[in-house]
Amino acid sequence: MEAVVTAIRVALPVPLRQHFDYLLPANMQVQIGCRVRVPFGKRELIGIVWQLDVTPEVAAEQLKPVLAVIDQTAVLPKLLRQLLSFAADYYHHPLGEVLTAALPALLREGRELSAYQPTSYRLTAEGAAAKLSDFSRSPKQAALWQALSEQALSETTLKTQFSSNTLKQLIDKGLITRFQTTPEPYQFQGLAEPALQLTADQALAVTALNQAQGSFKSFLLEGVTGSGKTEVYLQCIAPLLQAGKQVLVLLPEIGLTPQTLSRFAQRFQAPILVWHSNLSDGERLQCWLQAASGAAAVIIGTRSALFLPFRQLGLIIIDEEHDLSLKQQDGFRYHARDLAIKRAALEICPILLGSATPSLESLYNCQQGRFIHLQLTARASGQALPKVELIDLKQQVLQYGLAQQTLQQMQQQLQAGKQVMLFLNRRGFAPALSCQECGWLTECQRCSAFTTYHKHSRQLVCHHCGATRAVPRQCGGCGSPRLAPVGQGTEQLEEHLTTLFPDIPVTRLDRDSTRRKGAFASLLSEIEQAGPRLILGTQMLAKGHHFPFVTLVVIVDVDGALYSADFRAPEQLGQLLTQVAGRAGRGHDKGKVLLQTQHPEHALLQDIILNGYAAFARSALLERQQTFLPPCQHLALFRAEAHQSEPCQQLLQQLATFCQQYPSVQLLGPLLSPLERKAGKYRWQLHLYAKHRPQLHQLLSALLIEIPKWPLSRKIKWQLDVDALDLS
C-alpha cells in the first residue's frame, strides 16, 4: 500500500504567475494563511500556505519538503485572503507578491509573532506560598512580591517601577514567572469633548451612515472646503466605538496624519493608532497586532493600512478620495479606494468617501446608482467661500514672479496680522540652469527632462529618476561660465520673500523641507500660531490642511498645467485649484484667492472660477462619456522600457497584434511615453480600452499567458497597470 503524500500549495513572493507545491512532512501541521519556510532554487523563502491536500502536478518524489512551519494560526485571516485573492486577479499581479505586500516587514522576514506579543509577570505556586517575612533583608524584592501578589503586571509597568536586577533575582528563586498575553479588545471610555452642533446637511449625512451600520453601502460625501467633513466622520464613528467596533481611516499622505490624529484624540477616549511608512518595523508590527486583537479602536493610515487584519471592522473612511496618492504606482499597482470598497463589501460594513473635489470615477458611480451621494454645500462656520480673482500677467513687470497687484494685497493682509499662503508646484531653486551666451540648458543625462537646481545643496537634481550631480562651472555647449537659473522654484521664492518682507517669518512646505522625521509636524505647528506669516509650498499645501489664520492664497503659476496631453489633466488641475483655494478664509475672516496667469481667458479657469468645481466636474464627465474615456470605459496600460527604443516598440506591437483577436477592446498605440526617457531607458505605452470590464480582463488573462512565450519579453522590462492614472 502506497504512503499517502500530503502536498500543500504555497504562494511565494516571486514575480511569477504560478503556484508552487511542497511536501508537508508528517510531523508538521499547518493551516491556510500561515507562513512557512520553503526551499526555492538555492534560496529559502517565506511563503503563505494557500491550499491544503492538493494534487501535485509532478511526481511526489520531485516535491521538496517544507523546512519549517512558522505560525500555528493564520496571519492572514479568511476575509483578508479573499480580498487579496480578488486584488491579485483584478490587477493581474502574482498572488505571492500581493499576499506578501499585506504583511509587515518583520513577518515577511519570517520572524515569529510570539517574540512581539506583550509579556507579563505573575507569582509561581512557590511564590504564592511565600510570606512577606521571607524578604526582610530585601525591601525591593518585598515590594515587587507584594505588587505581584495582588495581580499579574505587564512588563512595561514592572520596568517603570522596579529594577531589572530585582526582577531577575525573584525569577532565579523560582518565585515569579514570565508569560505572554494577547492584547484585550479596547474599552471605549466615552467622548473626551462634546460633539459640535451639526448643520442640516451634516446631520443628514450622519443619519444616513448610522442607518447603514451592519450593511454594505458606499457613500460619497461631497463637501465644499471647510464644510465640516471631519466632524461628520467623528460623529459617524462615535456609536461604532460605543458598540466595540473598529474603524479604518485612510489618508492619501503622511502629512495629513498629525492634524487628523489630533482631532480624533481630542474627541475620543479610545486607542487611536497611526500607520504609515515613517514608522519603524517594530512600530508597524505592534499596530498590526493591535488591529488583529481589537485593542486598536481607530487606525488612521496611508494606503497599505487597508491590509491590516481588523478583528471587527465597522466602517471604512477614505478622506480626499480623489487623491492620486491612493494609487500605488510601482510593483503591485492597486488603488486603495477601489480595494477598500471591495473590503467593505466583504466585511459587510459601510464605506464613506470624502472630498471637496470628488474624482470623476466616484461621481460616475453616483450617476450609475452604485454610490449614495451626500452633499455639504456650505462651510460649517457659515463663512462664505473665498473670492477668486484672476491676475493677468501679460505686459506686467513682475517682481520675483509676483505682480505688483499681488504684492500690494499680500502687504495689506500681513499688515493686518493675517497669514498669506503662496502655492508654487515646483520645488528646488529653479527648474534648470541656462547659459547666458548660447541658451544651453542643464538636462538629466538619463531622462528626457531638465535637472532642477537646488541652491542650498549646490546640486542639480532630476525629479524623475533622482539622479544628482554637482553644479557645472561652465556651459556644456560653449564653455561659457555665465550660467543662471531659469524659472522659479520654492527655494528661490522663499529667498525672495525674505527680501521683500524681511520682518515676516516664512514657512516653506515641500518634499525637501520635510524630509527629516518630525519636520512636517513642526512646520504645521508654526503655521497654527496666530500672527503674520508667509506660507509657501507645493501641492502638499492642498491636501486638506486647516490653516485658520490664512486669509489670502496666491497661486503663483498654473499655466504649465493648462495644455497637458493627459486627458485627466483638466480634472487634476480643477481639483488642485479648488483645494488650494479652499485653504483661505477657514477661520473667522473672509478669504481671497489670487490666481496669476498669462491666460485668464482659458475656458478651464473660467469654468472653475465662475461655476465652481461641482459644475466643472459634471461637464467634464459628460465630455468623457462623449469621447469614450474612463470612467465611462475601462483602461489598462502596458508599459515597456529598455536602453534601446526599437525593441520596446516591437514588443508592444506584438501585444497589439494579439489584441486584434478581441474586437471589443480598442487600442491606442504603441506610442512613446510623454517622458520618453527615464533613468537611462526609453519608454513606450500601449493603451487598451473596453466598455465592459469582463471583456478587458478576459483579454488580459489570455495575454499574460502568451507574453512569457515571446523571446522579446525576456529582454525588456514591461508592466501592466490596470485602471492606470499616471500616463507619463
Whether the Cβ atoms of residue 654 and residue 712 lie closer than 8 Å to each other = yes
**Across 492-500, average pLDDT:** 85
What's phi and psi for 708, nearest 5 deg? -60, -20
- Cβ neighbors of 388 (< 8 A, separation 6 or more) are 581, 592, 593, 595, 609
Lowest mean pLDDT among 88-97, 131-140, 142-151, 556-565: 556-565
**200-376 and 387-427+489-624: same fold?**
yes
Whether the Cβ atoms of residue 644 and residue 683 lie closer than 8 Å to each other = no
Domain 200-376: what homologous superfamily?
A: P-loop containing nucleotide triphosphate hydrolases (3.40.50.300)
Q: Which residue has the cell 456650505?
A: 378
Q: How far apart are CA 662 and CA 654, in angstroms?
A: 14
**Between 463 and 593, where is the model more confident?**
593
Does the annotation list 478 as a binding residue? Answer: yes
Does the annotation list 475 as a binding residue? Answer: yes
Q: How far apart are CA 508 and CA 522, in angstroms?
A: 12
Query: Does residue 291 carry a pLDDT above 60?
Result: yes
Across all residues in the chain, what is the average pLDDT? 88
Helix pair angle (164-172, 139-150), 10° resolution: 80
**Across 489-504, average pLDDT:** 85
Whether the Cβ atoms of residue 645 and residue 684 lie closer than 8 Å to each other = yes
The pLDDT-based confidence of 277 (bands split at 50, 70, 90) is confident
Q: Look at residue 161 in the predicted model and tell me its pLDDT.
A: 83
Which SS3 state, helix, strand or coil, does residue 335 take?
Answer: strand
- Cβ neighbors of 191 (< 8 A, separation 6 or more) are 238, 267, 268, 269
The pLDDT-based confidence of 453 (bands split at 50, 70, 90) is confident
Lowest mean pLDDT among 98-107, 111-120, 186-195, 441-450: 441-450
Give domain 634-722's CATH architecture: 2-Layer Sandwich (3.30)
Q: How far apart are CA 384 and CA 594, in angstroms?
A: 16
Domain segments of the chain as ranges: 7-114, 118-180, 200-376, 387-427+489-624, 634-722
Q: Look at residue 1 in the predicted model and tell me its pLDDT.
A: 31
Nearest CA to 481 among 438, 430, 431?
Answer: 438
Query: Does residue 278 carry a pLDDT above 80?
Result: yes
Cα→Cα distances 620→48, 575, 645, Å: 45, 12, 35
Cα→Cα distances 159→171, 287, 462, Å: 14, 22, 49
Q: How far apart are CA 364 and CA 205, in angstroms?
A: 20
Whether the Cβ atoms of residue 183 and residue 293 lie closer than 8 Å to each other = yes
Return the ∠ at Cα 358 (arms to 354 and 364), rounded to 5°: 115
Q: Look at residue 681 in the predicted model and tell me its pLDDT.
A: 87
Task: Indicate the CATH number for domain 7-114.
Answer: 3.40.1440.60
Lowest mean pLDDT among 298-307, 513-522, 543-552: 513-522
Return the ∠ at Cα 693 (arms to 688 and 697), rounded to 5°: 65
Whether the Cβ atoms of residue 490 and residue 453 lie closer than 8 Å to each other = no
Query: Does residue 472 carry a pLDDT above 70?
Result: yes
Give the dihedral of Cα atoms 342, 345, 348, 352; nearest 10 deg. Answer: 70
Q: Report percent pLDDT > 90 for the chain.
A: 51
Buried/exposed 489-522: b ≥16 CB within 10 Å, e otherwise? bbbbbbbbbeeebeebebbbbbebbbeeeeebee
The pLDDT-based confidence of 608 (bands split at 50, 70, 90) is confident
**Between 366 and 279, where is the model more confident?**
366
The pLDDT-based confidence of 522 (bands split at 50, 70, 90) is confident
Mode of pairing for the β-strands spanning 298-301 and 218-223: unpaired
H or E segment at 99?
helix 95-101
The stretches of 294-445 forming alpha helices (DSSP H) are 336-347, 360-367, 404-415
Query: Does residue 526 carry a pLDDT above 70?
Result: yes
Query: Does residue 606 carry a pLDDT above 60?
Result: yes
Q: What is the pLDDT of residues 226-262, one digit of tens each?
A: 889 999 999 999 999 999 999 999 999 887 788 888 8
Fold assignment, 387-427+489-624: Rossmann fold (3.40.50)
The number of beta carbons lying within 10 Å of the beta carbon of residue 640 is 26
Return the ∠ at Cα 173 (arms to 172 and 176), rounded to 5°: 85
Query: Does residue 537 carry a pLDDT above 90?
Result: no
Which SS3 state, helix, strand or coil, does residue 45 take?
Answer: strand
Q: Look at residue 3 in the predicted model and tell me its pLDDT.
A: 47
Q: How far apart are CA 295 and CA 255, in angstroms?
A: 25
Q: Report percent pLDDT > 70 for the chain.
A: 96
Q: What is the pLDDT of residues 477-490, one digit of tens each?
A: 888 887 777 666 77
The stretches of 516-627 forming alpha helices (DSSP H) are 519-527, 569-581, 603-627
**Across 219-229, average pLDDT:** 91
What residue type is 689 in one-letter code?
Y
What's phi and psi for 648, nearest 5 deg? -65, -45
Q: Which residue has the cell 499681488?
A: 406
Q: What is the pLDDT of residues 333-392, one digit of tens each?
A: 999 999 999 999 999 999 999 999 999 999 999 999 999 999 998 887 777 788 888 988
DSSP readout, 102-126? TS-HHHHTT--GGGGS-EEEEE-HH
Q: Look at residue 428 in the predicted model and tell me its pLDDT.
A: 63
Q: How far apart are CA 692 and CA 666, in angstroms?
A: 11
Give me 54's grid cell. 492538493
> What predicted TM-score, i.e. pTM, was given to this entire model?
0.87
Query: Does residue 102 carry a pLDDT above 90?
Result: yes
Q: Look at residue 55 in the predicted model and tell me its pLDDT.
A: 85
Burial class from Cβ neighbours inside 10 Å (0-12, 13-18, 19+) for residue 288 reads: buried
- Cβ neighbors of 408 (< 8 A, separation 6 or more) are none
Does the annotation list 648 as a binding residue? Answer: no
Does the annotation list 462 as a binding residue? Answer: yes
Query: Does residue 2 carry a pLDDT above 60?
Result: no
Q: Which residue has the cell 502596458?
A: 638
Q: What is the pLDDT of residues 654-679, one digit of tens each?
A: 999 999 999 999 999 899 988 888 88
Q: Which residue has the cell 522654484?
A: 489
What residue type is 496 in one-letter code?
H
Rg (CA), the chain: 29
Query: Does residue 23 carry a pLDDT above 90?
Result: yes
**Across 432-449, average pLDDT:** 75
Give me 27's grid cell. 510531523
Cis ω before 631 (30° cut-off from 0): yes
**Across 195-206, average pLDDT:** 95
Does the annotation list 659 as a binding residue? Answer: no
Does the annotation list 444 as a binding residue? Answer: yes
